[in-house]
Amino acid sequence: MALDKIALALTVIGGLNWGSVGIFRFDVIARLCGGPATTAARVVYTLIGIAAIWSLTLLFREREPRSRQA
pLDDT 10s digits, 23-68 = 999 999 999 999 999 999 999 999 999 999 999 999 999 887 777 6
In a domain, 9, yes or no: yes
Q: With a threshold of 0.85, does the pTM exceed it? A: no
State the total domains in the chain. Answer: 1
Predicted confidence band of residue 70 (pLDDT cuts 50, 70, 90): low
Answer yes or no: are the C-beta atoms of 8 and 16 closer than 8 Å: no
- State phi, psi for 55 to the nearest 5 degrees: -65, -25
18 HSE (CA, 13 A, CB side): 8
In a domain, 21, yes or no: yes
Q: Which domain holds residue 28?
A: 2-58
In a domain, 29, yes or no: yes
The Cα angle at residue 14 between residues 11 and 17, in degrees rounded to 5: 150
